[in-house]
C-alpha cells in the first residue's frame, strides 16, 4: 500500500493550473512541480503548454508526456492516480484553475469510485492541488473590474447538468443581482445553449446591462468585446470564450468596464475631494 | 495631457494581484511589473510582501514605497492615478486578485469621480490589471475541489452593502444550490455578521452541508478546518479567513472535500471500469 505522505520514495499527484494561456501567468510553484515531474497527464493542448513551460524552466529529468482527448477526464484522472500509486511524480495539468470546471473534481471523482483493490491506496496518496489564474479573472482583468462586487460562476456545458438547472440558476442569479461569469458558452455540438442563455438574460435583465466577451485571453488570439445585452449576439461566443455579465450597477469609465464596490449605500466618496 | 498608450515616456498604472500570501503563488508578470516600478502603492502588509518579491527579483532601480492603512482605498487609488499622470511607473498592489473585492474597482471609481481638470488625463492613462490567485481558489485547492461546480462569491463586509442585500443573496444562492465563497466573514468591528450568516445558512441548507474554513492560506499561519454546518461555530472565522460552503452534493473522499462536476444527471462513470 502506498502512503505518499509517510514514504519519501512514494508517488505524488499534483493537479496544477496553467492559467489562461500565457506562461507569464503561470505561478512559480506550478513551474516547479513540472520540473520535478516524471509524468505529465492532460488534454493535448495543455500538455503542449506544459512542455513549453518545462523547456523554459530547463528541467534536466526526462518526462513521460501523456496527452489525451478532451472527453476522457475520468480516464485521465484514473491514469494519473494509477501512475502515482506506482511511485511516479505525476502532474495533471489543467487550463485556468484546476478547481474551476477542470481536472481537480475529476480526480476526486475517480478516487471516490475506485475499485476496492485500489481505493485505500489512492486515498492515501500525496495529492496536491495548485491553483491557477482562472479564465473569468483573466478576462475581468482585461476589461477593468466587472467582477468587483458579488458574482457567480456558471458552467454552460449542458452534458454536466440539465438545462432547467442552468435556467433556474440564471434566473436566481439575476434576482440576486450577481454579476455572472459563464464558462463553455458555446460548442459546435450544442450551439443552441448560448442562444437560450441570451433569451433568458433578456427576460431578467435590462437591455443596457453590460456584457464582456473575452476570447482566448492572454494568447495571440485574444479578443475582447464589450457591449450591452441589447447588442449581444450568439456569434460573439465560441468554445474559447468566457462571457461576463455585469450586475445592474456595472458601468463604463473611459475604455474600462467595472462594478463598484458599494451597493445600495452611498459610496464613500468623502475623500474624493481631498488632495492625494 | 498625459496619454500613456501613445507616449512611451508617459506614466503607467498597473494594478497587480499578489495572490494569497506565498511568493510561489505570484505570477511572473506581477514580479516583472514590480521590477519596472518607480512607485508601489498599497496597504501596508501588501507593500511589505511586494518588497520581499522585489528583493527576490533583484531589481536595480530604486522604488518609492507608498504604504497606507486599510480603510483608505479611494485615497490610495487617487494617489496612484496622480503619480501615473505625472509620468511615474506605478504598481498598486492587492492581495489575491485585484478584481475580487480589492483595489481594481477602487481605481476605476476614483477615475470615474475624478475632478474635471484631471478626468481626461486619468482615463487616457495606460492602465493594466494583472490577475492573481484569489483567496477562495487558493482555499479550495487546499481542501480538494469544493468549488468544482457552479458557485458564487459574496463579500460579507457590510460597510459595502446593507445586510438585507446580503441576506437575500444568500437565500437565492442556497435556492440555486450554488456552492458559496464568503470573503471578510468577520472583523473586530462587526463580529455579528458571521453569526447571522450561520443562522441564515441553517435556515436554508441541511445540517450536513460541508463548510471549509480556510485561514491565511499559503502563509505560515495557515489553518484549514472542514466541518458540517451543524458543527460550524462563529469563532472558526476571523478577518484572515475565507469560508467556503459546498452545494448539496459536496462530499468527502479520504481527507479531501470536493463537489462533483455532474448535477441532476448520472455521472459519466462508464469509463470507470476500463483499464486506465
Q: Tell me the pLDDT tens digit for each residue of A229-257.
A: 999 999 999 999 999 999 999 999 999 99
> What is the band of A9 on the pLDDT scale with cuts at 50, 70, 90?
low
Take residue B173 and report the three cell numbers written for it.
Answer: 444562492
| Predicted structure pTM score | 0.94
Distance set, CA B66 to CA A80, A112, B40, B89, B114 (Å): 47, 50, 6, 13, 21
Could you say which residues of chain B have pLDDT below 70?
1-9, 266-276
**Average pLDDT of the residues in A169-196:** 92
Contact A124, A2 (CB under 8 A): yes
Alpha-carbon distance of A252 to B127, in angstroms, equals 14
**Average pLDDT of the residues in A50-56:** 94
- Least Cα separation, residue A99 to chain B (angstroms): 5
Q: ipTM of this predicted complex?
A: 0.94
> What is the band of A177 on the pLDDT scale with cuts at 50, 70, 90?
very high
Q: What is the pLDDT of residues A196-233, one digit of tens each?
A: 999 999 999 999 999 999 999 999 999 999 999 999 99
Nearest CB to B262 within list A97, A142, A161: A161
Give the SS3 label for residue A5.
coil
**φ/ψ of residue B91, rounded to 5:** -115, 120
Contact B92, B103 (CB under 8 A): yes
Q: Could you tell me if A99 lies within 8 Å of chain B, comparing CB atoms?
A: yes
Residues in chain B: 276
List of chain A residues whose C-beta atoms are within 8 Å of the C-beta of residue B159: 265
The pLDDT score that the predictor gives to residue A240 is 94
The pLDDT score that the predictor gives to residue B99 is 98
Contact A133, B27 (CB under 8 A): yes
Chain center to CA of B245: 16
The pLDDT score that the predictor gives to residue A14 is 98
Which residue do the cell numbers 496622480 mark?
B82
Take residue A187 and report the three cell numbers written for it.
Answer: 460548442
> Helices A73-85 and A103-112 sit at what angle, rounded to 10 degrees?
70
Could you tell me which residue, B10 or A164, shows the higher pLDDT? A164
Q: Which residue, A263, A253, A240, A265, is CA-closest to A151? A: A263
Q: What is the pLDDT of residues A72-96, one digit of tens each?
A: 899 999 999 999 999 999 999 999 9
Which residue do the cell numbers 462513470 mark?
B269
Q: What is the pLDDT of residues A257-270, one digit of tens each?
A: 999 999 987 665 54
Contact A243, A209 (CB under 8 A): no
Contact between chains at B75 and A274 (C-beta distance less than 8 A):
yes
- Least Cα separation, residue A207 to chain B (angstroms): 22
Q: Which residue, B175, B230, B178, B225, is CA-closest to B199? A: B230
Take residue B210 and report the three cell numbers written for it.
Answer: 460541508
Nearest CB to A131 within list B101, B133, B260: B133
Amino acid at each position: 500500500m502506498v502512503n505518499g505522505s509517510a514514504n519519501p520514495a512514494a508517488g505524488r499527484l499534483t493537479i496544477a493550473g496553467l492559467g489562461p494561456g500565457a506562461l507569464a501567468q503561470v505561478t512559480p510553484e506550478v513551474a516547479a512541480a513540472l520540473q520535478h515531474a516524471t509524468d505529465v497527464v492532460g488534454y493535448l493542448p495543455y500538455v503542449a503548454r506544459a512542455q513549453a513551460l518545462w523547456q523554459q524552466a530547463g528541467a534536466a529529468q526526462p518526462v513521460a508526456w501523456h496527452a489525451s482527448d478532451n472527453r476522457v477526464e475520468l480516464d485521465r484522472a484514473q491514469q494519473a492516480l494509477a501512475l502515482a500509486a506506482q511511485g511516479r511524480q505525476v502532474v495533471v495539468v489543467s487550463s485556468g484553475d484546476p478547481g474551476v470546471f477542470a481536472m481537480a473534481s475529476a480526480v476526486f471523482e475517480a478516487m471516490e469510485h475506485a475499485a476496492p483493490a485500489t481505493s485505500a491506496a489512492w486515498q492515501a496518496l500525496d495529492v496536491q492541488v495548485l491553483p491557477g489564474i482562472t479564465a473569468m479573472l483573466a478576462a475581468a482583468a482585461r476589461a477593468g473590474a466587472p467582477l468587483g462586487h458579488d458574482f457567480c460562476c456558471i458552467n454552460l456545458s449542458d452534458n454536466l447538468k440539465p438545462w432547467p438547472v442552468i435556467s433556474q440558476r440564471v434566473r436566481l442569479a439575476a434576482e440576486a443581482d450577481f454579476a455572472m461569469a459563464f464558462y463553455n458558452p458555446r460548442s459546435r455540438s450544442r450551439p443552441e445553449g448560448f442562444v437560450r442563455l441570451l433569451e433568458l438574460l433578456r427576460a431578467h435583465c435590462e437591455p443596457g446591462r453590460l456584457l464582456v466577451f473575452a476570447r482566448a485571453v492572454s494568447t495571440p488570439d485574444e479578443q475582447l468585446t464589450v457591449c450591452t445585452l441589447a447588442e449581444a449576439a450568439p456569434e460573439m461566443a465560441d468554445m474559447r470564450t468566457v462571457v461576463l455579465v455585469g450586475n445592474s450597477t456595472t458601468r463604463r469609465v473611459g475604455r474600462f468596464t467595472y462594478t463598484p464596490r458599494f451597493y445600495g449605500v452611498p459610496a464613500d466618496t468623502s475623500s474624493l475631494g481631498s488632495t492625494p
